[in-house]
Amino acid sequence: MARKHTTKRGSAAAQRHMGRVAQLPCLACGVSGVQVHHIREGQGGSQRAPDFLTVPLCPDCHKGGFSIHKSPKAFTNIYGSELDMLAQTLEQIEQKRG
């Protein structure tokens, strides 16, 4: 029986995409060595976004003192909405594919 292609969390395609995101610099401060942040905008309280809705953030900007997780409103006021960050991420991936 042929295996069905999927874009579910953890699929090969999702893993490749997150690998591409992880190679980008932090969208907030520009440093390398990022973590992949699943955007929360448009998600329910305890829901996690699909692996394709991810952006690169360094550990400090991801979960540090002033970060997307600790100060989401203030963080997005400075760096843009999570959807804006997602658009930037997808643009950077496309530019790398060139």
Q: Could you report the per-residue pLDDT of 60-74, keeping only the tens digit for each?
A: 999 999 999 999 999
- Cα–Cα distance between 18 and 3 in angstroms, integer? 22
Tens of pLDDT along 39-53? 987 665 666 788 999
Q: At what angle do helices 82-97 and 12-22 cross, to 10 degrees?
A: 90
pLDDT at 17 over 70: yes
What average pLDDT does the structure give for the chain? Answer: 88
- Cα–Cα distance between 96 and 24 in angstroms, integer? 9
- Cα–Cα distance between 83 and 43 in angstroms, integer? 12
- pTM for this structure? 0.84
DSSP annotation of 81 reads: -
Domains of the chain in start order, with CATH, are 12-97 (3.30.40.190)
